[in-house]
Amino acid sequence: MSVLLEVIATTVADARAAAQAGADRLELVTAMGEGGLTPSVGLIEAVVSAVGIPVNVIVRPHSRSFVYDADDYAVMLRDIGAVKAAGANGIVIGMLDAHGGIDREGLARACDAADGLPITFHRAFDEAGDLRAALDVLLRFDAVTNVLTSGGKPSVLQAREVVGELVRQASGSHCTVLAGAGLTVDAVADFVSQTHVEAVHFGSGVRVNGNGLAPVDPARVAQVRAQLDATER
């Protein structure tokens, strides 16, 4: 079984290019330069219609921090309902408390609003004070099926050991460690072999010239797909 490949899409053209070149799943965002914000309902509906692979949609109202107030939660819960109604496969979300832990109450409300849609906890996870403890919390939420992480480092390639530990911690659970941020076409095969991750996430690494604001480069997606298919995990 080959490693799952998730690719960030910010347009319908991105989504089509990634799907045709071998991505297994999309993360749909807008404002990639800000780390990804909630896309419009029109874009979500268009992408879901355009591709035959699952589309997970980020719900993130602003890029100020991952600590949200009551108004932020009101917005996010409405957006979760809109994403679900637009036909998305899942929600990508993350929230922390003021002490650098997972905001359990906020996450529970998001899970209720998602009403059966799987949740990926995004890289807010990497800002938690204790990654192992944070993963322990997430493993108690049945709805959280993926944790996107760079192992607490700017690039996941700097955190191979930590990622490997997180993979072992989540092993046998309902939750998959989704490794992303800083992965490259050249490094992905060794990274997968060393960490035993079952899923990888690409943004800039599969875009034209490695530029996060450029379009998805289908040739790069196809190269990653071929490397993953050839890698034993």
pLDDT of residue 223: 98
In the structure, what pLDDT confidence band is assigned to residue 2 with cuts at 50, 70 and 90?
confident
Task: Check whether 227 has a pLDDT greater than 70.
Answer: yes
**Containing structural domain, residue 29:** 4-230
Nearest in space to 109 (alpha carbons), one of 77, 68, 61: 77
Phi/psi region, residue 228 (left: phi>0; alpha: psi -120 to 50; beta: rest), is: alpha
Estimate to the nearest angstrom the gap between the alpha carbon of 94 and the chain centroid.
Answer: 10
Interatomic CA distance for residues 62 and 34, integer angstroms: 9
What amino acid occupies position 94? G
Q: What is the pLDDT of residues 6-42, one digit of tens each?
A: 999 999 999 999 999 999 999 999 999 899 999 999 9
Interatomic CA distance for residues 18 and 53, integer angstroms: 10
Estimate to the nearest angstrom the gap between the alpha carbon of 210 and the chain centroid.
Answer: 18
Task: Check whether 233 has a pLDDT greater than 70.
Answer: no
CB–CB of 179/197 below 8 Å? yes
pLDDT of residue 97: 97
Q: What is the CATH number of the domain that holds 25?
A: 3.20.20.380
pLDDT of residue 130: 96
Task: Check whether 71 has a pLDDT greater than 90.
Answer: yes
pLDDT of residue 232: 62
Q: What is the pLDDT of residues 151-178, one digit of tens each?
A: 999 999 999 999 999 999 999 999 999 9
Estimate to the nearest angstrom the gap between the alpha carbon of 224 and the chain centroid.
Answer: 17
Sequence-separated (6 or more) residues with CB below 8 Å from residue 168 = none
For the whole prediction, is pTM greater than 0.95? yes
For the chain, the domain total comes to 1
In the structure, what pLDDT confidence band is assigned to residue 75 with cuts at 50, 70 and 90?
very high
Percent residues over pLDDT 90 in the chain: 97
Interatomic CA distance for residues 8 and 30, integer angstroms: 10
